[in-house]
Amino acid sequence: MIRLSNVSLTYESTDGTEIHALAGIDLQVAENEFVVIVGPSGCGKSTLLKLIVGLLRPTRGSVMYRGRPVEDTIQEVGMVYQSPVLLPWRTVLGNVLLPIEILRRDPAAYAPEAAKLLEMAGLSAFARKTPRELSGGMQQRAALCRALITDPALLLMDEPFAALDALTRDEMGQELSRLWEERKKTVVFVTHSISEAVLLGDRVVVMSPRPGRIVRDIPIGLPRPRTNVKHLGPAFTDYVEEIRELIYSFKGERDAAPPP
């Protein structure tokens, strides 16, 4: 579905120095696959998402979506960020329907779908409330409903649970897994949490610090649903350890390298 070939992105920072954000990225994501990208901060994970969706152009290489080069932005995509970025002057329902309005479709026609999504997210009672009457976890669930309202084929999630407390975070991960199994979608999910990556992903793609490269692409062969870490046994811990060692090895390299 998505194919990045030899993608590099270089930009000029405000003081005129060239910054190599990404270098030689080759990445393929198949239809209905759940791919998680992990890596140290500043390795260009978010930049990668912007390239996929067409918000940024690569300096070199090509980005293909469903066999065609990405030129304009891909409209059939849902985006979820670390912060829910809900509009405080709209109700929860109004926020969920925002993409419909922007696409100039009839919001009334999507009201049943919005109601269904909110029910799935456990927010039915809050449809007419404003975002600030909701807890952080509920706001993020509303943001997920907003991303799903167009029933997009692709879901891009940029550290969506990073701002939540640990308990809510686990719960949201479970809910996302369940949702993904119910309505098959392609998901590209960026996170800092290694265990989250292993729990959610079909594949975990590990990136190096800047310039971001893909250093390993690990298929996760754990059975689903992965609700209980205990049932997954030592295989789960093995994956987590493998990725953790990889990421720590960068840290060593960076600390050993002379300052630029």
In the complex, the residues that contact other proteins under the rule CB under 8 A are 50, 53-55, 72-75, 77, 79, 81-83, 85, 87-89, 98-99, 101-103, 130, 132, 158
Nearest CB to other proteins, comparing residues 30 and 87 = 87
Closest-CA residue to 152 (of 77, 228, 258, 211): 77
126 vs 236, which CB is nearer to other proteins? 126
List, as one string, the DSSP characters of 49-87: HHHHHTSS--SEEEEEETTEE--S--SSEEEE-SS----
- 199: its two tokens: 């729990």
Least distance from C-beta 86 to other proteins, angstroms? 9
Q: How many whole angstroms separate alpha carbon 149 and alpha carbon 204?
A: 27
Would you call the peptide bond into 225 cis, given omega within 30 degrees of 0 as the criterion? yes
Nearest approach in angstroms of CB 141 to other proteins is 16
Amino acid (one-letter) located at 141: R
Which residue, 58 or 99, is less far from other proteins as judged by CB? 99
Q: Which two tokens stand for residue 163?
A: 């701002």
Minimum CB separation of residue 216 from other proteins in Å reads: 28
Q: Cβ 191 to other proteins, closest distance in Å?
A: 16
Cβ-based nearer residue to other proteins, 45 or 203: 45
| Closer of 24 and 54 to other proteins (Cβ) | 54
Q: 103 burial class (0-12, 13-18, 19+ CB within 10 angstroms)?
A: exposed
HSE (CB half, 13 Å, CA atoms) of 215? 20
Q: Which two tokens stand for residue 198?
A: 């292993």
| Closer Cβ to other proteins, 13 or 228, answer by number | 13
For residue 14, give the DSSP letter.
T
Please state the closest distance from residue 72 (CB atom) to other proteins, in A.
7
Nearer to other proteins, 87 or 235 (CB): 87
Question: Rounded to an integer, what distance in angstroms lies between the CA atom of residue 28 and that of residue 35?
Answer: 9
Q: Name residue 169's amino acid.
A: R
Q: Closest separation between CB of residue 238 and other proteins, Å?
A: 35
Q: What is the side-by-side order of every strand in the sheet holding 60-65?
A: 18-29, 2-12, 60-65, 68-69
Closest distance of CB 163 from other proteins, Å: 12
